[in-house]
Amino acid sequence: MKNIFVNGYGSIGSRIVSFLKDDPEISVVGIGKYSPDEKVQEAISKGLDVYVPESKMESFSNYKISGSIESALDKSDLVIDAAPGGHGYKNKKNLYEPKNIPAIYQGGESTIGSEAVSDLLFNSRANYDQALGKYHVMQGSCNVTGMGRILEPLRDKFGDQLVRFDVTLVRRWADIEQTEKKLSDTIEMTEKPHHGDDVKLYFGKDAPLYVRAIKVPTRQMHLHIMDIRFKNNAPKPSEIHDVFTNEFGVATLWTAKGTKDVRDYAQNMGFNFIDTNMIHIHANMTTSIGDTVQMMYSDDQTGIVIPENHMLMQAMLFDKSYQDAFAHTESIFHMKEKKKKLQEHFAKNN
């Protein structure tokens, strides 16, 4: 049994804790909170111990706080940092490194530059073994994780037949539960998006991958439009879909008219946090013309990185093989069952 502390209780932290509580190999020490808001009482009502910075204890006097974050770390074997982007590096320097505690960081951090939290950006499909026994590792963002679930299987199948990938990321404006975030009535262009460089950290720095990004006023997932060029004639759409038949966390859908259709189905089926935790290939949109395949797939935003965090935790804490970690993650998240239900519901009309 290992003790895990989750430092942060927002979109990612709340999801991670929910699944860790179902893991018989893990004991959750508690969660870290930095602001005395309604999320504090929500966590306490769910039976979680809440810890706050030593310097802010008085601000939480209206709540039943279990102690300081510093004291929680003394009881922990690993911390999953779910703080807002940029705070992870500060936490590493001020908290984790002084106490010699392994830590997982989220996609808002960096693996390059003076404020790098790690020299490894994790994607279970690409570099699981590199995380074995490491002390500080960054989990890729939802878009970066999603591209890995598509790119790596394509590279495995087609190898040097591939010439280049051009990807347009259509990003959601905010997560569903971030109701305080107003959706602006605009399509926002992202100059020099980090996603392509991040993917190249595991896909290869010289990979022929080109990424542009826009942000649109929706909370209903991301959508990626990917053009894949081949040396010769491109494979048929059916050959592309066949690549993902047995892929973890990739469902092939035919009749979803939009991302909200998928989210509504997840809600109707009672999926936790109405997440699918996966990529959804919109198979009716896949086309093959000449040397190019165009495909579209939606990315379950925050939900997609939660099983990845679970895989990464097993590599760092338990030194598990990929196969053992995969089997254990599947027992917690039931990804195969979700995939089957999604594919049956959005099956091709005969």
Q: Which residues are catalytic?
A: 142
H helix or E strand, kind and range, residue 215: strand 209-216
Distance CA 155, CA 162 (A): 7
* Residues 222, 301 contacting (CB under 8 angstroms): yes
Q: Could you please report the per-residue DSSP string of 257-301?
A: -SHHHHHHHHHHTT-GGG---SEEEEGGG-EEETTEEEEEEEE-H
Those residues whose C-beta lies under 8 Å from the C-beta of residue 217, and which sit 6 or more positions away, are 173, 183, 184, 185, 186, 187
62-65's contacts with Cβ under 8 Å and 24+ in sequence apart are 62/36, 63/36
Q: Could you please report the per-residue DSSP string of 40-86?
A: HHHHHHTT--EEE-GGGGGGGTTS---EEHHHHHTT-SEEEE-PSTT
Burial of 309 from C-beta contacts in 10 A (0-12 / 13-18 / 19+):
buried
* Residues 104, 7 contacting (CB under 8 angstroms): no
What is residue 340's three-state secondary structure? helix
Q: Could you please report the per-residue DSSP string of 131-165?
A: GTT-SEEEEP-HHHHHHHHHHHHHHHHHGGGEEEE
How big is the chain by its Cα radius of gyration, in Å?
20
* Residues 100, 132 contacting (CB under 8 angstroms): no
Q: Which tokens is 106 given?
A: 């989220």
Q: Which tokens is 322 given?
A: 């990929």
